[in-house]
Amino acid sequence: MPSVWLLGMYPPSPSTTVFIPYNKDFEGRIVNDEYFGKVPSDRLIVDDGMIYFKIDGQYRAKIGLPAGSAKDICGSYDSKAGVLNILKYTVPEGDNDYVNGQWGPQEDPFSGDVINSYNDGPTETGTIMGPFYEIETSSPGAPLVPGASMTHTQYTIHLEGSFEDLASIARDLFGADLEKVSKAF
């Protein structure tokens, strides 16, 4: 089954945090934090409807949210550079199968995540691919017949500005406290 996968790659910094709102009433695992081994608590916080993920390019980790947990928006904020990235995407209604993007054979290949974030860092051999970080979204897997099509839309918006202006945008779009985002780690 094809799935549309859209990926944005950005420069990491010690002052950058990815923040992802989640559905608090979701029953099940809110965040998958075991792509490259469990993400430690000093790099991942799940707190009252918001996920905070430390993005410094120093520790290889990836997180993902299943469709029921994910909302249709995600952001990252670099408090030192004054940069707010907004990622808005489509999440179709109803039950959908998402391709499981974890490495290796999968017991359930269609129990994947709709949104992921990756923080680059040293591999087991000490090599680093970047450093960089990613925010990526996927469409559901689509059992398309010949001639059929599917659409998955993702908008990425980069904003630079004063803390006050960006905080107002984060509050309005995400219900997020940008001060809390900037001090999460």
Task: Please report, rounded to a whole number, the percentage of residues in the chain having pLDDT higher than 90.
Answer: 76
- Long-range pairs of 98-103 with CB within 8 A, sequence gap ≥ 24: 98/3, 98/66, 98/67, 98/138, 98/140, 98/141, 99/1, 99/3, 99/138, 99/141, 101/35, 101/64, 101/138, 102/32, 102/34, 102/35, 103/35
State yes or no: pLDDT of 6 exceeds 90: yes
pLDDT in tens, 61-115: 999 999 889 999 999 999 999 999 999 999 888 778 888 877 777 788 788 899 9
| Residue that is written with structure tokens 């001060």 in the block | 179
Helix, coil or strand: residue 35: coil
Q: Based on the structure, what is the number of domains in the chain?
A: 1
Q: Please tell me the distance from the alpha carbon of residue 73 to that of residue 28, in angstroms, as a whole number.
A: 20
Residue pair 95/153 in contact (Cβ under 8 Å)? The answer is no
Q: Rounded mean pLDDT of 132-147?
A: 93
In this structure, the number of other CB atoms found within 10 A of the CB of residue 22 comes to 20
112 lies in which domain range? 5-182
Q: How far apart are CA 138 and CA 5, in angstroms?
A: 4
Asked if 64 and 8 count as a contact pair (C-beta separation under 8 A), the reply is no
pLDDT at 181: 98
Per-residue pLDDT at 124: 87
